[in-house]
Chains A and B, each alone.
Chain A
């Protein structure tokens, strides 16, 4: 376990300043050994290359989509002895982001789930179709706040 000063996130942020000179990454710690580093949409792939190439961090635990203060945020959770998350704020109304599948085939199902639940398009994904929802699903992405407010409790 590392202290706050030595978190991997800090080192990743330093490396990101080199590959993304126009971007100032924010680092924020989360309880229990995790920290997120902010990355722009077009900086996701360079950031991933930094994680894979320079730090040999290859384990992607999950991709979470969340609506924080009205902004649709994607969180890519990695783990190597401690947690390091890449946080990407998506642009509305496009909601597009490049896919990670060509680098990490393990991201496939996570991206498909975010696609169907939040309506995010992953550019370059080989097979972007719903994972869990039925084929005859009517109505929009069920996890979006707008969908929940429109359709009431659980949209039934």
Chain B
């Protein structure tokens, strides 16, 4: 049989963002694949060097629209470490609250996109409808549904009244029920399982060799979660489980993300119930001392890494961002082996692509 190259992207109904794949098929069988990225490369690291520390918070929030808060938080933590300032506990808790809400909204978004890409539009509509509740809470807290600008260097600029805290707890209870019903369908529905089982396989050894992070790594048996492993405040005083499965296929990733959503809801509840009193941000000096700092965090897609170097001036001398999607993209040639053309959409959806993050 002769070989054909099927191009997917940069414009394709499957893809929300421009990226180009060339899938070589023989009949229906995929035998090779190539990828071209960089369509969303905006040169953010270089732009960071030209803007001030405060302007960079807003720039780095827009590396990605889905995980915007965790990018800004990690950057702020690196800068605060350079300055040597400690964020008050209430500010740390509020940052974590937004991070967990963001994880919930990201996983619900992903679930909807996966379902849509395999033709299960009903789950897409239900998941995104429930996601609106999370966006409402985030908008009430910060003023923005998708991009919050909640961080300042030294803490957060947002706060909760006692009444609003009680209301959000009530909304979370409602959301618990909605998510439980949704995940019940996801776990029981045979067609979803049939399409995602044994597709996109990655072994534990492959995950370690490719330095994969996040739900993709946890679905192949690698028990890593930066929140727990680094004893990061406030996670060192909260109770949560880290779901790990070892099948290594898209179904395992679905289960990991579903269970993470439930755990994040638990975390949000604990954060609100234990919210300490006090200020939400600390005063910081006008200049950042020269030096280097590294900050990591657990974004919805895995470990996000920031390196910030200061030379004592108004602008950072270097900001290096490594986003988790890059570690998943490198495994795609492995995942796209020995599957049929129809399963390509499942594999591409299973890794939770965020090309904007990867390209920066």
Chain A residues at the B interface, C-beta cutoff of 8 Å: 1, 30-34, 58-62, 64, 66-68, 75, 77, 79, 81-83, 85, 104-110, 117, 130-134, 142-143, 148, 153-154
Q: Is B77 an interface residue, CB under 8 A from the partner? A: yes
Instruction: Please tell me the size bucket of the interface on B.
Output: 35 or more
Within the complex, what minimum Cβ distance (angstroms) separates A52 from chain B?
11
Number of A-B contacts (CB under 8 A): 101
Q: Which of A34, A64, A143, A154 has the most CB of B within 10 A?
A: A64
Instruction: Return chain A residues, CB-CB under 8 Å to B212.
Output: 106
B81 touches A (CB below 8 Å): yes
Cα of A104 to Cα of B231 in the assembled complex, Å: 27
Per-residue 0/1 for B223-251: is the Cβ within 8 Å of any A Cβ (1 yes, 0 no)?
01000011100000000000000000000
Contact with A along B292-330 (1 / 0, CB 8 A): 111110000001010101000000011010100011011
Q: Which residues of chain B come closer than 8 Å to A133, judged between CB atoms?
A: 38, 41
Contact A109 B329 (CB under 8 A): yes
- Whole-angstrom CA separation of A43 from B47 in the bound complex: 33
For chain A, what secondary structure do more than half of its interface residues adopt (helix, strand, loop), or is it mixed? Answer: mixed
Verify if B46 is at the interface (C-beta below 8 Å from A): yes
Q: Is B359 an interface residue (CB 8 A)?
A: yes
Pairs A–B under 8 Å by Cβ, sample size 30: A1-B231, A31-B81, A31-B293, A32-B293, A34-B294, A59-B224, A60-B211, A61-B303, A61-B305, A62-B305, A62-B320, A66-B307, A66-B309, A66-B318, A68-B309, A77-B294, A83-B296, A104-B211, A105-B210, A106-B210, A106-B211, A106-B330, A108-B330, A109-B330, A110-B326, A117-B45, A131-B38, A132-B38, A154-B46, A154-B47
Asked whether A32 and B322 contact (CB < 8 A) given A62-B307, A143-B45, A153-B50, the answer is no
Give B202-216 interface residues, CB cut-off 8 Å to A: 208-212
Pick the contact of B209: A61, A83, A105, A143 (CB < 8 A). Answer: A105
The reply to whether B294 and A83 contact each other, CB–CB distance below 8 Å, is yes
Contact of B82 (CB < 8 Å), options: A31, A62, A83: A31
Q: How far is the CA of A31 from the CA of B306 in the complex (A)?
A: 12
Cross-chain contact A148 with B46 (CB below 8 angstroms): yes
Q: Is the CB of A61 within 8 A of B322?
A: yes
Flag if A61 contacts B296 (CB, 8 Å): yes
Given A108-B330, A109-B326, A110-B322, residue A132 in contact with residue B46 (CB < 8 A):
no
Q: Check B285 for interface membership: any CB of A closer than 8 A.
A: no
In the complex the two chains form, what is the Cα distance from A81 to B330 in whole Å?
24
Q: Is the CB of A58 within 8 A of B322?
A: no
Contacts of B307 in A (CB 8 A): 62, 64, 66, 75, 77
User: B71-82 CB contact bits vs A (8 Å, 1 = yes)?
Assistant: 000000110011
Q: Which of A1, A77, A142, A148 contacts B305 (CB 8 A)?
A: A77
